[in-house]
Chain A
């Protein structure tokens, strides 16, 4: 079957994509949101005319907040990001922003995260990703425990682990690029999206492996045990590719709708999911099954 036959091409392609992702990450790093770095984020919308970015920055410096990042949003709004503000500093900032009453504004949203919580969230994020990777790999090895020939069930777990690692690396690399060029931030919702991607992308692998298991059993029963494993896997992939794509397609449809007309605050969350689920579908079909064959040959 062409996917399994040409697996070297797909390995090279995936290798390049993963390399590109690592490279982006190494060069630009991720733009961490205040969830992880700590700090304060204030979104305001001026009701009449908005002062310029320079005016805003000066006003904030004058009350002791010199390192504020001011980003315009909408027509008359700004998103300000500063280091952690105490309640008093917050009051002073608001007074400064209103230019002492000359420029009234509406406060849309304010978030302030202290350094302890920021570090804690970072630690939890790493633990959660590691735990999900391990648990799912073990789960797959357990589910396919009776398929020992010709590939032991541990290898099924290993293949899934490699595919899932790919599914984590691609969105991270994408957000290194997006962070550099568009200011896209990585926050706890990004991590949540990664975990959802991991939990979901294994579905396609389960579908194919399930079919491989069934075909192997069928070969045993019908005295066809001589069929090369490569052919069995190839057959399984071509039999299940339509449903693999369709199950991901339904999710992509709703995500696209959410992306285009959904709430703005969920924008990057949905984008992460989109990138990850597309990467996940690719990795399950074009990487997962061919890897089984490669591992069998070792």
Chain B
């Protein structure tokens, strides 16, 4: 008995400690503060579709990674705290298309965000080949794209070799791998024309005079100085390896988000209060224990959300509040069974024991069905909001199995009504309003 009592006290103290941690880590700039989704914190969520149709299958992953890096660099210029840039596959139901997800917390000006991200040009180099049997030419992609660019600079032509002087030109410097590819292309195709395409438009088609080993190239075309300067800037921010188009977007204003957060919190608190009133009125002493266990459930779940961390959204919070209502179901099954055993004449301690023992299969199977649903929801969910909800839901079910069964049992036994069969004990463990 002493061991059980010590365990009960230890669990209570742990519960209080966890609750304290939950509250403390909301102050200041703790790294364990809650992570809020866009619909609570305000921000913008963008989904781009990447057109990988022109890439060889083996290059797709590398290109998507490169795309991700380029966009992240552009996003960081925005000065957003904790932006999220991720690649994603559309999955079987989405036709397997490649997607890029960009989340910008706190940025609510969708137009600015889209303009900055979307305007990186696509640069690629194609060889001119004669089409067999005709007198036309076609351009064949070489695989050398803007992804291999290390630097672009604005310069002015020197008027050498018959070209006009002081025309804006763009000096390109490829990175190590790009230089190797460029060297190969120029070595193997000397005498052919290399078309330089920007966003699918041919801007220049110089003849390859000789092999260029140092990875340097020059683009000259009829640019105005402003056009050339813009192009250089965009190229330097990162030429995109694949073209992207905006597939879906969502932006939520900060005021709407803050209001939703406040309403959710208040609803959660009142829900807890009404639930507790019901439990105590109907189940009396066990009801009080259930409420105590429920408080620890809330603290423990919130702590887990902080530690993983789970991004909370409006739906996620609703799911959590829902799970509070579901967490007590195990308690109800146990208490009702205990009452039955008491009515059948069993002594109190044995009735409690039987209550837990007999209710366990129902509790286990019910929670398993919830978990199965949660897993399917997470797997097929699709959007981040649904996945977040499913995660909150499953965590809630798992934690409730611990608090509603283990915690409650420890507390109940430690109260030590032992072999007592007094009228008081029966009252405290009875239920309903009339009895």
A191 closest partner in B (C-beta): B386
Contact-size category for B? 35 or more
Docked-complex contact B340 and A239, CB < 8 angstroms: yes
Evaluate contact between B333 and A207: CB separation under 8 angstroms. Answer: yes
Residue numbers in B under 8 Å from A263 (CB-CB): 259-261, 263-264, 267, 314, 317-318
Contact, CB under 8 Å: A188 / B386? yes
8 Å CB interface, A104-159 against B = 106-114, 116-117, 120-121, 123-124, 127-128, 131-132, 135-136, 139-140, 143
Quick check: is A16 within 8 A (CB to CB) of the other chain?
A: no
**Segment of A61-69, A83-91, A170-178 engaged in the interface with chain B:** A83-91
**Are B111 and A90 interface neighbours, CB within 8 A?**
yes
Q: Mark B368-380, 1 if CB is under 8 A from A, else 0.
A: 1110111011001
Interface residue? B413 (CB, 8 A): no
Asked if B275 contacts A253 (CB within 8 A), the reply is yes
Q: How far is the CA of A72 from the CA of B420 in the complex (A)?
A: 65
A120 x B90 contact (CB < 8 A)? yes
Nearest-Cβ distance from residue B422 to partner chain A, whole angstroms: 25
Q: Is residue B155 contacting chain A, with contact meaning CB distance below 8 A?
A: no
**In the complex the two chains form, what is the Cα distance from A265 to B315 in whole Å?**
9
Indicate which residue in A111, A210, A250 contacts B278 across the interface (CB closer than 8 Å): A250
Known contacts A128-B377, A255-B322, A263-B264; A109 and B253 CB within 8 A of each other: yes
Please tell me if the beta carbons of B318 and A270 are within 8 angstroms of each other in the complex.
Answer: yes
Question: Which of A87, A108, A214, A253 meets B325, CB within 8 Å?
Answer: A253
Residues of A within 8 Å of B381, CB to CB, are: 124, 128, 192
B382 at the A interface (CB under 8 A): yes
CB contacts (< 8 Å) of B362 on chain A: these are: 203, 206-207, 210
Q: Chain B's nearest CB lies how many Å from the CB of A138?
A: 10
Q: Which of chain B's residues have a CB closer than 8 A to the CB of A124?
A: 93, 380-382
Does A261 lie at the interface of the complex (its beta carbon under 8 Å from any beta carbon of B)?
Answer: yes
Given contacts A128-B380, A206-B362, contact A250 B111 (CB under 8 A): no
Per-position contact with B for A197-225: 1 when CB-CB < 8 Å, else 0? 01110110011001000100000000000
Partner of B267, one of A139, A202, A203, A262: A262
Q: Is the CB of B110 within 8 A of A87?
A: yes
Task: For chain B, residues 214 to 267, give those with C-beta under 8 angstroms from any C-beta of chain A.
Answer: 246-253, 255-256, 259-261, 263-264, 266-267
Q: Are A87 and B93 in contact, with the CB atoms below 8 A?
A: no
- Majority secondary structure, B binding face: helix
Q: Give the contacting residue for B369; candidates A206, A210, A214, A251; CB below 8 A.
A: A206
Query: Separation in Å of the A91 CB from the closest CB of chain B?
Result: 5
> By DSSP majority rule, is chain A's interface helix, strand, loop, or mixed?
helix
- Interface stretch, picked from A17-25, A227-235, A240-248, A286-294, is A240-248
Q: Which of B372-414 contact A (CB under 8 A)?
A: 372-374, 376-377, 380-383, 385-386, 389, 393
Interface size of A by CB at 8 A reads 68
- CB neighbours (8 Å) of A94 from chain B are 111
The smallest beta-carbon distance between B246 and chain A, in angstroms, is 6
Q: How far is the CA of A270 from the CA of B340 in the complex (A)?
A: 34
Contacts of A114 in B (CB 8 A): 47, 49, 246-248
- Once A132-B376, A265-B39, A269-B318 are accepted as A-B contacts, the answer to whether A253 and B271 lie under 8 Å apart by CB is yes
Q: How far is the CA of A117 from the CA of B248 in the complex (A)?
A: 8
- Give the docked Cα–Cα distance between A140 and B362 (Å): 11
Residues of A within 8 A of B358 (CB): 214
User: A59 at the A/B interface (Cβ < 8 Å)?
Assistant: no
- Please indicate the chain B residues that have their CB under 8 angstroms from the CB of A203 in the complex: 329, 362, 366, 369-370
Once the chains are docked, how many angstroms separate the CA of A242 from the CA of B282? 11
Cβ 8 A contact of A262, one of B90, B264, B380: B264
Q: Which partner residue on chain B sits nearest A116 by CB separation?
A: B247
Residue A195, interface by CB 8 Å? yes
Is there contact, CB below 8 Å, between A139 and B372?
yes
Tell me which residues across on chain B come within 8 A of A246, comparing CB atoms.
Answer: 282, 332, 336
List chain B residues, Cβ under 8 A from A188.
382-383, 385-386
Q: Contacting A257 at CB < 8 Å: which of B246, B274, B370, B380?
A: B274
CB neighbours (8 Å) of B255 from chain A are: 106, 108
Q: Which of B248, B272, B315, B328 contacts A192 (CB 8 A)?
A: B315
Decide yes or no: A243 and B382 within 8 Å by CB, A87-B111, A262-B318 being known contacts: no
* B393 CB to nearest A CB, Å: 7
Bound complex: CA of A264 vs CA of B318, how far in Å?
Answer: 11
- Cβ of B53 < 8 Å from any Cβ of A? no
B326 and chain A: residue at smallest CB distance: A251
Complex alpha-carbon distance, A261 and B274, angstroms: 13
Residue of A106, A192, A199, A255 ringed by the most chain B CB atoms within 10 A: A199
Measured CA separation A132–B376 after assembly (Å): 7
Q: List chain A residues, Cβ under 8 A from B322.
A: 196, 251, 254-255, 258, 273
Q: Is A266 an interface residue (CB 8 A)?
A: yes
Known: A87-B111, A199-B372, A265-B314. Contact between A112 and B386, CB under 8 A?
no
CA distance A262 to B260 in the complex (A): 8
The chain A residue sitting closest to B315, CB to CB, is A189
- Contact: B336 with A107, CB < 8 Å? no
Using known A-B contacts A109-B256, A254-B324, determine if residue A247 contacts B373 with beta carbons closer than 8 Å: no
Residues of B with C-beta under 8 A to A200: 326, 370
**A27, CB-defined interface residue at 8 Å:** no
Q: List 7 A-B contacts (CB under 8 A).
A: A87-B110, A107-B251, A114-B247, A116-B49, A188-B385, A210-B365, A257-B274
Question: A interface vs B, CB < 8 Å?
Answer: 43, 86-87, 90-91, 94, 106-114, 116-117, 120-121, 123-124, 127-128, 131-132, 135-136, 139-140, 143, 188-189, 192, 195-196, 198-200, 202-203, 206-207, 210, 214, 239-240, 242-243, 246-247, 249-255, 257-258, 261-266, 269-270, 273
Counting from the closest, the 4 A-B pairs by CB-CB distance are A199-B373, A254-B325, A254-B271, A262-B267
